[in-house]
Amino acid sequence: MIFAQLISAHLIGDFILQPNAWVADKESKILKSKYLYFHVLIHTILSFIFLWNLELWWVALGMGISHFIIDVCKLKFQTAETKKNWFFIDQALHLLVIALFSFYFKEFNLEVFKNQNYLKILMAVIFLTTPASIFIKILLSSWTPVTEEEGNNQNESLSNAGKYIGILERLMVFTFITVNHWEGVGFMIAAKSVFRFSDLAQAKQRKLTEYVLIGTLLSFGMAILTGILIKI
């Protein structure tokens, strides 16, 4: 199934195998950045690996070329003010290219999706890890709170703890939904509320509390929506 295979390759290439240092280098140097070409090459190779069909080499090549064109356009036209908008435009265009390939092979029908459950689950699990974290981070970028004791509290939290907590909670929520145990989702929400929001209440920082609440709802919402879509 080309749609799920190309989506999985895209999620891994764009979010998991692309360090922040590569992104920064591409934004500053654009066409002169070697990481732009490394990134495109990784996408081409991943597309070929997921397709695993020598006759479809041109699809993998097409994914690489389209990715290069879309990324260059985003890098050239985005500004500090429009960076968030261009991120979503960029992802929408990549999704459109994948959809066009799927339409070409006439794979957009419900029967195909029903017979490829393992690919749907793989695609969902990949999305709910780093890609979902990046989406949430970008959506919340306009509201990042600055705490009064930010410098003193940096060592009180484990490195990237919030990111991995979010990934684990989304995967657990997704698992509960796929096995039809919605009560587990309620337990997860209650447990996080007790541990997380009690600390925030003691800190008496309303903006930080609202920020964490929005992030939590986005995280759970993505996992729930993904689980529902997989079960359709």
Query: Residue 212 in contact with residue 196, Cβ under 8 Å?
Result: yes
pLDDT of residue 146: 58
Instruction: Please give the distance of CA 212 from its chain centroid, rounded to a whole number.
Output: 19
Rounded Cα distance, 177 and 159, in Å: 29
Average pLDDT, the chain: 85
Other Cβ atoms closer than 10 A to 38:
15
Tell me: the pLDDT tens digits for 167-205? 989 999 999 898 888 888 888 877 777 666 555 555 556
Asked if the model's pLDDT at residue 102 lies above 70, the reply is: yes
Asked if the model's pLDDT at residue 144 lies above 60, the reply is: yes
Tell me: the pLDDT tens digits for 62-79? 999 999 999 999 999 999
Tell me: the pLDDT tens digits for 3-16? 889 999 999 999 99
pLDDT of residue 214: 87
Query: Phi-psi category of 33—alpha, beta or left, where left has phi over 0 and alpha has psi -120 to 50?
Result: beta
Which runs of consecutive H residues, i.e. helices, occur in 30-78?
34-51, 57-77
pTM: 0.74
pLDDT of residue 154: 45
Is residue 151 very low, low, confident or very high in pLDDT (cuts 50, 70, 90)? very low
pLDDT of residue 113: 46
Indicate if the alpha-carbon torsion angle 87, 92, 95, 101 is positive or negative: negative
Tell me: the pLDDT tens digits for 30-58? 999 999 999 999 999 999 999 999 999 99
